[in-house]
A and B are shown apart, each in its own frame.
Chain A
């Protein structure tokens, strides 16, 4: 396969839903929009659809570019495209921006139809369950009864898992990557520090900063810097930056080390393009997700009604969503005699590894996905 087998130029679409959506919190969205992209062609019996669920800062823009001039393609371009592990010659791939997002779907930055102003702090808290329910509505609108597969990493993996719980007969395969059945206390702690950075920024204004013409940039920047520390492994950081200096030591608090430079760059970049209210909601969705909670903490019971076949993947150096957490999912599936494969991929990149085109990792995905049967392609 050539390096250049990109899906090419893509364009987002918007789906409008006028039926009210009751959220897990009890709040009701009277109407909402979801922005999404599709790649490949939906086959005649609509059996080749694959949904990609995004993580904390992801979007519907999974693959391809909006124009030749775009510097970067979609966030998981190395996965999806013609001849890629998720082959768009075979599958109809859907990327969707989650509710509460800041890339076109209804969220804090979008206009509240009831007031004609941005939702801001009034946008309800959304959960993984709500996302999956809203994604199901999108599939209904696209006329897709059942997904060939749902794929997600990290928070996206939680959505993939939730799909198999909420809509057992609508998912044939679930690929749950670098994920967990709930967050550890340590993970919630990281999220809380990130949120506090945002909320205590003087320009946060209780979440209604839009009307003040400001954004809590400093808070969001620090939140993202913290995130980046946790997405990398100690080893990967050491290898990439070590104690490398930008210049001679200046004995002050400006950037001295390459590591600082990287974090500041990532923080600034993110704070310039992401919405703080969305960041708060995404981290909260992570915190809240816990399908076993309704079953006295018994994950096996929570997964007992699933019908999908599972591929669960973790990465050895991922300490934020460690292999042990993926093994909990695997164990629960095995208790139910579910069909599951599990691999612990040796990778140095920490949690970020799920977005990297590691050879073995991609070989597993390619092999697994190529085995999925779709209409008109029932190779025996």
Chain B
């Protein structure tokens, strides 16, 4: 059951990730924060409590069946998408429960990952700090993959931010960005 997804050991990048999420979440709104990764969750949870944002911590693999349609302003899945087994289902469930959703994930199309693949090895990096045999990341994707996923599932991309080492990337994000952050809603 325990599924640690402490992907970002890079503190700068982590804080940037959190700062953008915090910025996207309206103060006092109802937020369902999905995600496992004990260390990350702990910090996130306390930050949200501090913020006056309600946080519900739960095991994602149990699904969202307890929650009513459109009962949250925002549903967040932070750097966990790639570790989900039912990837498609969780995104659709989030869209059912939330008026808006936030999804962030490490971009597998980042040039450093591509370099390692080109060199014949599975990528290992600060953003993907696992070996192929012990990784919880079973559904890695690129920014282009996710864009296509949204298009294919009739999901509207309200905003997309891409960062590398804490800095925003606007030029060739699928190649130069290491972390992708999406704000989405159903079309």
Residues on A with C-beta less than 8 A from B59 are: 344
Contact string, B45-79, partner A, CB cutoff 8 A, digits 1/0?
11011101011111100000011100100000000
Residues of A275-301 at the interface with B, using a CB-CB cut-off of 8 Å, are: none
Partner of A344, one of B54, B58, B68: B58
Cβ of B115 within 8 Å of any chain A Cβ, yes or no, is: no
User: How many B residues face the partner with a CB closer than 8 A?
Assistant: 19
Interface residues on A, range: 20 to 34
Q: Roughly how many angstroms separate A24 CA and B45 CA in the complex, as a whole number?
A: 39
Partner of A342, one of B42, B52, B55: B55
Verify B67–A334 contact, CB threshold 8 A: yes
Cβ of A16 within 8 Å of any chain B Cβ, yes or no, is: no
Q: Roughly how many angstroms separate A42 CA and B142 CA in the complex, as a whole number?
A: 58
Cβ of B38 within 8 Å of any chain A Cβ, yes or no, is: yes
- Contact A334 B42, CB 8 Å, known A340-B54, A342-B56, A342-B58: no
Verify B49–A364 contact, CB threshold 8 A: yes
Cβ of A330 within 8 Å of any chain B Cβ, yes or no, is: yes
Verify A343–B67 contact, CB threshold 8 A: no
Verify A330–B71 contact, CB threshold 8 A: no
Cβ of A371 within 8 Å of any chain B Cβ, yes or no, is: yes
- Contact A346 B66, CB 8 Å, known A339-B54, A340-B56, A367-B50: no
Partner of A337, one of B48, B58, B66, B71: B71
Nearest CB of B to A348, in Å: 13
Nearest CB of A to B58, in Å: 7
Cβ of A360 within 8 Å of any chain B Cβ, yes or no, is: yes
Nearest CB of B to A68, in Å: 36
Residues on B with C-beta less than 8 A from A360 are: 42, 46
Residues on B with C-beta less than 8 A from A334 are: 56, 66-68, 71
Nearest CB of B to A49, in Å: 21
Residues on B with C-beta less than 8 A from A346 are: 38
Cβ of A331 within 8 Å of any chain B Cβ, yes or no, is: yes
Residues on A with C-beta less than 8 A from B57 are: 342-344
Nearest CB of A to B181, in Å: 23
Ordered by A's residue number, 30 sampled pairs between the chains whose C-beta atoms are within 8 Å are A311-B49, A327-B58, A327-B66, A330-B56, A331-B66, A334-B66, A334-B68, A335-B68, A337-B30, A337-B71, A339-B54, A340-B54, A340-B56, A341-B48, A341-B55, A341-B56, A342-B56, A343-B45, A343-B55, A343-B57, A344-B57, A346-B38, A363-B46, A364-B45, A364-B46, A364-B49, A367-B50, A368-B49, A371-B50, A371-B52
